[in-house]
């Protein structure tokens, strides 16, 4: 009988296979203390602040006077710091090379397909250690964003939570068609995001969703870094964009629209997109339209600054340099127009144009270029971004029941917004990844 039971157990184990790898989660009760606490809702800071974490969830938020501290809990005292929700970047490109890399322009035909994903491992780590516990990755070749997310969620590498788009979808020869090579090199296909007309657009949307897209990214206008197109020129027609949005929404996905141009912003808003990315040449009519539709602006001021710097340094030349100067100048005005007309704002950097790991600089630019208060910028990168991503039930604020994604920055960011660029503590899923300003895990978590 013993031999028979052993044989049965062995058969069950063989059928079940090995236990799947899983991202690290916190275990036990941890109490975080700091001089200040900003919960991400826009409410006044709490002083001093206390957050209680049980395993991978927040279970209490407040002060020593309002929070009951469980017996036996581990306490981390962060001193003169401010506790905040984990930051959220709603526009990144973790995969591949960054602007200024001398090999970047030829990467599509010279790099191995897996090369961009390998770089993405380092980019994801830098992003997490910068305090960004969640990101929306709006475009990557070869579905490498899906591979990176799988490696993170299975615990092989560290990085932020990822909401992915797969390939960005656009017209042949437009901003999303990143092919400045001779005919026959990288021929366009809906699976790769090049789609013309309503039937191809539907197919392209379905292809991205088939391979794991949580959000659909489209290019409604020309861009700064693409060759040969005017930065503000509209690309898809209203009918085409409406088809794209309808198909995405029918399948439960929101649409993020790259749109610099004044008219392309209005066309995309009429079509029903959830967010306008960049929005450089936004005018008052477009802002009023976005506010009425509840369409978010993801301003990517960091990318404007980075591309302007690249043009000044000669990294961008000719038409691309001209477009960089024009877009950066317009962005400074557009975000103020958006704020004046009550357009919802979510933080996004376009990291990959600007260096990874410097995402928090966007908070600073929102204040310095956009005229937001420090609190308004913090809300844009926490609760507002979580709402845009559809993750507001679990992320974006410090509240009981939310994910234990928590950041601490030195001093008071309301007095000095630059403090967010120097996180001293980062927790994701109840696991500490940075403490005392130093990483506690690098690269491999679950070897």
If asked whether residues 309 and 429 sit together in one domain, one would say: no
Is position 337 within any domain?
A: yes
If asked whether residues 106 and 80 sit together in one domain, one would say: no
Q: What is the CATH number of the domain that holds 200?
A: 3.20.20.140
* Residue 442 predicted with pLDDT over 80: no
* Residue 20 predicted with pLDDT over 80: no
Among candidate residues 200, 258, 208, the one with its CA nearest the CA of residue 234: 258
Tell which of 303, 329, 359 closes a domain.
359
Mean of pLDDT over the chain: 90
- Give the integer Cα–Cα distance in Å for 367 and 374: 6
What are 203-231's pLDDT values in tens digits? 999 999 999 999 999 999 988 877 778 78
If asked whether residues 347 and 413 sit together in one domain, one would say: no
Going by DSSP bridges, is the β-strand pair 406-410/81-85 parallel, antiparallel, or unpaired?
Answer: antiparallel
If asked whether residues 98 and 73 sit together in one domain, one would say: no
Tell which of 330, 359, 388 closes a domain.
359
* Residue 240 predicted with pLDDT over 60: yes
Could you tell me which residue, 190 or 383, shows the higher pLDDT? Answer: 383
Q: How far is CA 379 from CA 43, 143, 350, in A?
A: 10, 31, 18
If asked whether residues 258 and 287 sit together in one domain, one would say: yes
pLDDT at residue number 264: 96
Span 222-250, average pLDDT:
89
The full 3-state SS of 397-416, as one line of letters, equals CCCCCCECCEEEEECCCCCC
If asked whether residues 92 and 166 sit together in one domain, one would say: yes
Is position 340 within any domain?
A: yes
Q: What is the CATH number of the domain that holds 48?
A: 2.30.40.10
If asked whether residues 68 and 100 sit together in one domain, one would say: no
* Residue 309 predicted with pLDDT over 70: yes
If asked whether residues 37 and 117 sit together in one domain, one would say: no
- Give the integer Cα–Cα distance in Å for 298 and 257: 10
Tell which of 309, 344, 359 closes a domain.
359
CA torsion, ordered 320, 325, 330, 336, to nearest 10 deg: 120
Which range has the worst mean pLDDT, 61-70, 80-89, 126-135, 400-409?
61-70
- Per-residue pLDDT band at 6 (split at 50, 70, 90): very low
Paired strand residues for 435: 425, 438
- Give the integer Cα–Cα distance in Å for 132 and 229: 33
Q: How many CA atoms lie within 13 A of 351 on its CB side?
A: 28
pLDDT at residue number 103: 65
- Give the integer Cα–Cα distance in Å for 413 and 410: 8
pLDDT at residue number 424: 98
Is-contact 173 229, C-beta < 8 A? Answer: yes
Coil, helix or strand at residue 432: strand
- Give the integer Cα–Cα distance in Å for 12 and 29: 35
If asked whether residues 94 and 148 sit together in one domain, one would say: yes
Could you tell me which residue, 44 or 190, shows the higher pLDDT? Answer: 44
Paired strand residues for 30: 53, 74
pLDDT at residue number 113: 83
If asked whether residues 181 and 193 sit together in one domain, one would say: yes
DSSP state of 369: T
Is position 48 within any domain?
A: yes
What are 354-408's pLDDT values in tens digits? 999 999 999 999 999 999 999 999 999 999 999 999 999 999 999 999 999 999 9
pLDDT at residue number 241: 98
Is position 46 within any domain?
A: yes
- Residue range of the domain that includes 33: 29-85+397-437
Instruction: Quote the pTM value.
Output: 0.92
Could you tell me which residue, 161 or 324, shows the higher pLDDT? Answer: 161
Is position 310 within any domain?
A: yes
Which range has the worst mean pLDDT, 39-43, 142-146, 310-314?
310-314
Number of domains in the chain: 2
Is position 153 within any domain?
A: yes
* Residue 10 predicted with pLDDT over 50: no
Is position 113 within any domain?
A: yes
If asked whether residues 198 and 312 sit together in one domain, one would say: yes
* Residue 281 predicted with pLDDT over 80: yes
Is position 15 within any domain?
A: no
If asked whether residues 185 and 299 sit together in one domain, one would say: yes
């Amino acid at each position: 009988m013993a031999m028979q039971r052993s044989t049965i157990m062995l058969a069950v184990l063989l059928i079940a296979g090995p236990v799947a790898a899983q991202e690290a989660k916190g275990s036990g009760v941890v109490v975080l203390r700091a001089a200040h606490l900003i919960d991400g809702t826009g409410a006044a800071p709490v002083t001093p602040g206390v957050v209680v974490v049980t395993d991978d969830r927040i279970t209490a938020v407040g002060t020593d006077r309002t929070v009951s501290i469980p017996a036996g809990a581990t306490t981390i005292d962060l001193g003169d710091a401010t506790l905040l929700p984990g930051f959220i970047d709603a526009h990144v490109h973790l995969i591949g090379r960054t602007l200024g890399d001398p090999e970047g322009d030829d990467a599509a035909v010279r790099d191995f397909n897996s090369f961009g994903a390998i770089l993405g491992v380092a980019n994801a780590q830098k992003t997490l250690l910068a305090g960004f516990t969640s990101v929306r990755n709006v475009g990557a070749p070869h579905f490498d964003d899906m591979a990176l997310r799988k490696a993170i969620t299975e615990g092989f590498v560290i990085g932020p939570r990822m909401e992915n788009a797969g390939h960005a979808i656009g017209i042949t020869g437009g901003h999303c068609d990143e092919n400045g090579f001779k005919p026959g090199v990288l021929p366009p296909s809906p699976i790769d995001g090049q789609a013309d007309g309503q039937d191809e657009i539907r197919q392209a949307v379905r292809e991205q969703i088939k391979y794991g897209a949580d959000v659909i990214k489209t290019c409604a206008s020309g861009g700064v870094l693409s060759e040969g197109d005017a930065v503000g020129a509209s690309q898809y027609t209203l009918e085409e964009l409406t088809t794209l949005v309808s198909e995405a929404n029918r399948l439960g996905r929101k649409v993020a629209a790259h749109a610099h141009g004044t008219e392309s912003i209005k066309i995309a808003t009429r079509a029903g997109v959830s967010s306008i990315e960049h929005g450089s040449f936004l005018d008052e009519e477009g802002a009023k339209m976005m506010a009425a539709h509840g369409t978010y602006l993801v301003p990517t001021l960091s990318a404007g600054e980075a591309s302007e710097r690249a043009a000044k340094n000669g990294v961008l030349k000719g038409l691309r340099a001209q477009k960089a100067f024009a877009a950066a100048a317009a962005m400074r005005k557009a975000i103020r127009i958006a704020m004046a007309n009550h357009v919802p704002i979510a933080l996004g950097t376009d990291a990959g144009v600007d260096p990874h790991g410097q995402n928090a600089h966007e908070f600073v630019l929102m204040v310095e270029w956009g005229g937001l208060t420090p609190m308004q910028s913090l809300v844009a990168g926490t609760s507002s971004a979580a709402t845009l991503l559809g993750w507001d039930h679990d992320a974006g604020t410090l509240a009981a029941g939310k994910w234990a994604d928590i950041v601490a920055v030195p001093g008071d960011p309301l007095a000095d917004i630059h403090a967010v660029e120097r996180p001293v503590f980062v927790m994701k899923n109840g696991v500490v990844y940075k403490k005392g300003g130093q990483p506690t895990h690098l690269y491999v978590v679950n070897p």
